[in-house]
Structure 1
């Protein structure tokens, strides 16, 4: 199906199942099909929705970089929910989609039953912020000049992707083949408009401290530039849990689908039971042992 955003962009979406809605928001290196292991698993007891971000066919590919931004990504997620008549949903995002999920919670907390933020953090570390912005522009240029079919062979073997290849060569190949089908211009504009311009989590600290939405952060222990941002989110968002996947990289939902699905299912169950609560005020971060 196609749903239309406020600025007239058509977004391709798929849904399955019935029950409490879950909206899956994909990463830069994937698309709507990247969530297939989750769509199949959670459709057993939920209404599950996945969609292709703008710039990712079969969704539209606007030609202007100003049509791509972190704020627009949130508005697109809301447009999908609005188009389907969904008032509230569990929002689940990976990487670029994880950033969109965080901003969804800051922008429209009343529309989120919960937030799951997986593999999000690139560009957040203040000491690497300038480098990340520049390398994002370089990646954009490479997608535009070389094309996704060629550049995917480089991008898909990043330092936090090889774990997936080592564990599951067939699954990684499927990921790589999907990456090769990216729209050359759409990928470049997404890198320039969304990735290279998004704010660090540290810049959002005040809002994150006030964000009451139940949140689960997932990160791979070899996804180095997401580890510290993940810990920061855990310490900053009041009702936040942190799950670290051992010997894992960036593409968590595909690299470790069983563990991802299990943790997400338990999280959603606790949220729906009203049992995913803010941190107990007695759990003082600075206390090592209580003496009195």
Structure 2
């Protein structure tokens, strides 16, 4: 089993497909490396596609200590996989928890990124939602402790931004729910407490985001309610950012509509590799509505 070892000794399972310019995929909390299968098949025909299971997600190691899990560590684990594979730079594509990790990777290691695709990113970021989100994370951790992963999966899979997936693709949704039930309860609990609950709000990172020069694509579903305003914040703040909203989609957009997701990400990568990705014209950011004042 191929593994990359982090600087704190955690082994991360990874998979590869294809050759060429590297594209690495970073999964969400309810997914794992298998959630990127449609992307591995598609991008593996043109690129060196890589996916990995985050710490806490078998067959990667599942540390018992919550202190082994953090938002900074999640971003740095991307570096560990790239270092193991002797990759200097890669296109990085992340969803939800993986989207946060991708953004923090770009902020902490901009020289290692060819581009960043930050998808489904924003849960708990808004000021008015922060404490509510933190309390829900604590409740999720307690539920996992008391009831285990199978009971958790049976409930968590039907969140308000995942029912769109069930309605659109019942067979794909059943596979997603089944894979979620195979996760580690300890790993899921520790990820919630160490990464999700303690990560900084996007609204506290605007100065760092404004300094990004790496090409950025922000993706969100139009029914992924907690991500809509944060997506606009990132678009307005990051000078190299484009925003694409996928219609009639919830949170799990790479699974719910893989063809559209792959097209948007693929077009983005092609433009970046061609040296044609723009930096926003400062004239687009004036406060005047019409430009006449």
Q: TM-score range by the shorter chain?
A: over 0.9
Aligned residues: 292
Partner of 2:9: 8
Partner of 1:134: 135
Quick one: distance in 2 between partners of 1:82 and 1:234? Answer: 30
Partner of 1:212: 213
SS of match in other structure, 1:283: helix
Equivalence map 1:255-270=2 (5 Å): 255-270=256-271
Quick one: distance in 2 between partners of 1:287 and 1:214? Answer: 27
Quick one: distance in 2 between partners of 1:15 and 1:22? Answer: 10
Partner of 1:56: 57
What's the C-alpha RMSD, in Å, of the aligned pairs?
Answer: 0.9
SS of match in other structure, 1:230: helix
Matched, 1:112 2:104: no
Equivalence map 1:126-165=2 (5 Å): 126-165=127-166
Quick one: distance in 1 between partners of 2:33 and 2:108? Answer: 23
Extract structure 1 runs of 4+ deviating beyond 6 A: none
State the Cα distance separating 1:285 from its structure 2 match: 4.8
Q: Normalization by structure 1: what TM-score?
A: 0.98
Equivalence map 1:43-192=2 (5 Å): 43-192=44-193
Partner of 1:28: 29
State the Cα distance separating 1:151 from its structure 2 match: 1.2
State the Cα distance separating 1:289 from its structure 2 match: 2.4
Deviations 1:125-155 (A, max 9, x none): 0001011011011111112221111111110
Q: Normalization by structure 2: what TM-score?
A: 0.98
Deviations 1:46-77 (A, max 9, x none): 00100000000000000100000001111111
Distance change in 2, residues 1:141/1:285 (3 Å): farther
Structure 1 stretches of 5 or more lacking a match? none
State the Cα distance separating 1:268 from its structure 2 match: 0.3
Structure 2 stretches of 5 or more lacking a match? none
